[in-house]
Amino acid sequence: MSTGTVKAAARTGRPSGTVSPRTRTRIPLAVTAALLVVMFGVGSVRYDGFLSAQVVLNLLIDNGFLLVVAVGATFVILTGGIDLSIGSMVALSTMITAWLVESHGWPLAAVIPLVLLVGAGSGALMGWIIHTFEIQPFIVTLAGMFLARGLCYTISTESITINDPVTAGVAQTRLYGPGGLFVSIPVLIALAVLAAAFVVLHHTRFGRNVYALGGNESSARLMGLPTGTTKIAVYGVSGLCSALGGLLLTFYTLSGYALHALGMELDAIAATVIGGTLLTGGSGFVLGTALGVLVLGMIQTLLTFQGTLSSWWTRIVIGALLLVFIVLQRLVGGRRPTTG
């Protein structure tokens, strides 16, 4: 080994030629970004009208609610937990909103904070149960899933259509930019949530606690970090994002329905994993989750342009991608925590 090689190894603290942990954790993120570019390129070559900025904006319009929900799921997964109640909480939020606005005449401005409070409170309660009684998150959030979905049916077993002019106005408003490009208000909300989550996770003490908890809970506790408070908070964040995602879905469909968002928790988890977050916790990027959501949306868009394939192919492709990214994460060995 040359003198330069020895000095390089001494400076980095690892053998020369090896890949740093930070680089390893960024590999799945880079693969996701490359996959998104390739899919857009293939669609542009194969289908007329695909090569358009509006197609990309439509991905955000059609998946803004999923982006918000997936951001909440990222907080939980980064701690090594899981939240199976996401889809049911989204459905419950749509039902509460439609029921209060349409059936009881509540103003939308009063319903929104109530729905967000219900979501955040429910998530924090599940987090408190998980921490206090040391029960597996899978079991607690599974119970929360059944409870929230059951509450939907106590409100109504039928779909509730919203005709409230204020709600319809928010849902149908288009914000135009250069060249006639447009987005909806929910898109701006989703992007604001993404930006806030990025700042919180990567530039605050709470974010560092989240990564430390997912990296090794015992070590985090020995370091004096507030593991219990952090765990309760991340499930509260997930519940809050689920409720907000439900509100955005309400604007998207202008209805509340007990069968809304069936399986959305799995879509959120898939987007998070495809975006490079480890299911074991401690490593991941919220911007990667956004790329994962765009990949899922791009799959649906390609199938729509194809026009001859069943919608079930979306699930098949997502399942295959999920397996590929889980194997990729295992191969690159990105188990160590990062806050970059």
> Which tens digits make up the pLDDT trace of 252-284?
999 999 999 999 999 999 999 999 999 889 989
Min mean pLDDT across 148-152, 158-162, 308-312 is at: 308-312
Q: Is the pLDDT of residue 5 over 90?
A: no
Domain borders along the chain are 24-332
Strand partners, 255: 161
Percent of the chain as helix, strand, coil, to the nearest 5: 75, 5, 25
Taking the C-alpha atoms of residue 291 and residue 125, their distance in angstroms, rounded to an integer, is 30
pLDDT computed for residue 304 by the predictor: 86
Residue 13: pLDDT band (50, 70, 90) is very low
**Beta-carbon count within 10 A of 275 CB:** 26
Is residue 148 within 8 A of residue 88, CB to CB? The reply is yes
Amino acid at 83: D
64 CB-near residues (< 8 Å, 6+ apart): 184, 186, 187, 189, 190, 248, 252
Could you identify the residue written with the tokens 């997912």?
214
Residue 333: pLDDT band (50, 70, 90) is low
CATH topology classification for 24-332: ABC transporter involved in vitamin B12 uptake, BtuC (1.10.3470)
pLDDT computed for residue 21 by the predictor: 59
239 vs 22, more confident: 239
Helix (H), strand (E) at residue 186? helix 185-203
The pair phi, psi for residue 159, each rounded to 5°, is -70, 140
Strand partners, 175: 183
Pick from 49, 93, 85, 32: nearest CA to 276 = 32
In a 13 Å sphere around the CA of 61, the CA atoms on its Cβ side amount to: 17
Strand partners, 176: 182
Residue 307: pLDDT band (50, 70, 90) is confident
